[in-house]
A = this chain, B = another copy of it.
Amino acid sequence: MSDFIWKKSGQGDGPGEAVMQFLAGEDVVLDRQLIGFDIRASQAHVNGLAQVGILDEDEARQLVDGLDGIAAALQAGDLVLDETFEDCHSALEAWLTERLGPLLGGKVHTGRSRNDQVAVALRLYMKDRLDALSALCVDTASVLLARARDEGHLPMPGYTHLQRAMPSSAGLWLAGHAEAFIDNAQLAALTRDWLDASPLGTASGFGVNLPLARDAVAEALGFGRLVVNPQYAQNARGKVELQALGALGAATADLRRLAWDLSLFTTSEFDFVRLPDGWCTGSSIMPNKRNPDVVELLRAAHGTVAGARTELESVLGLPSGYQRDLQATKPPLLRAFEAGLQALALLPELLAAFEWNPDAMQAAISPEMFATDLSVDMAREGMPFRDAYREVGSRLGQVKAEDAVQSLENRVSPGACGALELDRLAARLDHLAKK
């Protein structure tokens, strides 16, 4: 590892090798996901310094161009962020200094600290990932609504307690999951807006003795407002990450439920759904197996998000101010978004690809499942519902199967099989998609 910017010449040997490896952790590798945001923020910072006269126009332009050059070199593979650096932040300063000389390179860090530099890059990253999350939720809901329009009428048994309850429809199932992902898209958007505040210009947690143009810098970076207080800019670390993971976890938890349904429906016993070959695997010992591994791993994906939340929670029991523990909030955040979004990204295609087995679905609608509709019919005619419930319950064996399609059409309470209200859901979805 190269020298550290904070290394003092007279300070003795500095940290030993094992200690340095421990300190570095996976930071530099993870920072490959952050360095693009750091470059953008550094450019805005430099322009802000010019605005208040700390840099002249020419210095600022050279630094901005230098950062562009670094971005291009990273893109082209001419520069690589590796273990020779402590993190992406010190790499940037080192590369700039190498390219522009120490006189200019040594000026980029004026008025900022790695503390606010990390914080702003992470906020930009989270906004970006929450946008991606929202978009995936919108895509997922769109596929589900489209199928609900096409196949919504297919009768399907409805379950509570995993016991056959009432006749239901593929449409109810599809629209139900669609509404879940509409809520998830909205949550991602709300969370993004809630954390859309720039900590840049708060330095190490106490500000600096310069009249930084914080508002202009924030606006240039597309932030909606400032994290005003420098202490809070540090104290908020982990806190905003937890909410970002909360929004991600809402989506992966719904993914888990959807995957559970598909896992159940692809058993030989239920047999309501068939997955295309591309979504199945075999066994190393059993020649007869055709396993829904993808669905099972989708079901498991929420674990990474839940684990990351706990990991984050675990390091936050601290007094105010930056402490190195806060650096440990980065790996779980990045790990969870990578795993969670990768899983969610498969969902639209999977949901478009699976096939219903209408015969098996129809065959599983047994006569006693019409009992509730019958009781309600009697209640509509004036019998107290509790009496109708008891009377139908006392002669369950005589309840006759009805035409399921007709029966579902009669289920007209808003949202039910006979009135799915897909337009209402679609309108909410459109509203979110446009944001």
Contacts and interface: CB of A to CB of B under 8 A. Distances in A.
Interface string A210-234: 1110110000000000111111111
A96 to B, nearest CB: 10
A292 B161 contact: yes
Contact of A319 (B89, B183, B261, B420): B261
Interface in A104-148: 104-115, 117
Given A212-B413, A215-B414, A285 B205 contact: no
A214 B414 CA distance: 7
A394 B282 CA distance: 13
A2 interface: no
B425 A228 contact: yes
A64 interface: no
Given A14-B278, A318-B257, A114 B284 contact: yes
Interface in A1-49: 4-16, 18-19, 22-23, 25
Interface residues of A, number: 201
A415 B229 contact: yes
Nearest to A296: B324
A297 B324 contact: yes
A201 B414 CA distance: 8
A106 B384 contact: yes
A228 B416 CA distance: 8
A172 B109 contact: no
Interface string A156-178: 00111111111110001101111
A331 B364 CA distance: 35
A74 interface: no
Contacts of A373: 208-209
Interface in A65-114: 89-90, 93, 97, 102-114
Nearest to A332: B307
Residue among A115, A214, A288 with the most chain B CB within 10 A? A288
Contact of A19 (B279, B290, B316): B279
A356 interface: no
B413 A208 contact: yes
A323 B297 CA distance: 9
A308 interface: yes
A392 to B, nearest CB: 5
A412 B277 contact: no
A154 interface: no
A269 B360 CA distance: 11
A25 B349 CA distance: 19
B413 A103 contact: no
Contacts of A168: 206, 231
Contacts of A368: 288
Contacts of A164: 268
A8 B113 CA distance: 49
Sorted from nearest, which 9 A-B pairs have the closest CB atoms? A207-B416, A6-B282, A307-B311, A106-B384, A176-B231, A287-B393, A106-B386, A317-B317, A296-B324
21 contacts: A7-B282, A14-B277, A19-B346, A22-B294, A102-B387, A111-B379, A113-B285, A115-B285, A159-B320, A161-B291, A162-B263, A172-B230, A179-B227, A190-B194, A204-B372, A207-B412, A214-B415, A257-B316, A263-B319, A263-B323, A303-B332
Given A111-B413, A226-B424, 9 more contacts: A23-B294, A114-B284, A158-B321, A159-B267, A161-B323, A208-B411, A211-B412, A257-B319, A300-B327
